[in-house]
Amino acid sequence: MGRNQHVVPNPKGGWDVKGAGAKKSTVHTDTKKAAVDIARNIARNQRTELITHGRDGRIQSRDSYGHDPFPPKG
């Protein structure tokens, strides 16, 4: 099972994609959109969650690409 992917601001500028609990980033990008696109692909491949943070570090959104325990009925 893979790690949830976090898109977080880098203190030196730009955005990082980090696996949950990782100290080092997987990827560094100049734009948030590029980081989200890369993290989304990783999360889809690993069937994990994508968690996007704002400049203040707070979670802005979550997208699940895994096996949800209680999927909504549509």
The CA distance from 73 to 9, in Å, is: 35
Per-residue pLDDT of the chain (74 residues; tens, 9 = 90+): 689 999 999 999 999 999 999 999 999 999 999 999 999 999 999 999 999 999 999 999 999 987 666 666 65
Q: DSSP class of residue 21?
A: T
Contacts of 16 (CB under 8 A, 6+ apart): 7, 8, 9, 10, 25, 26, 27, 28, 29, 35
**Predicted TM-score of the model (pTM):** 0.87
The residue ranges of every structural domain in the chain are 5-62
Whole-Å CA distances, 71 to 1, 17, 33: 19, 26, 27
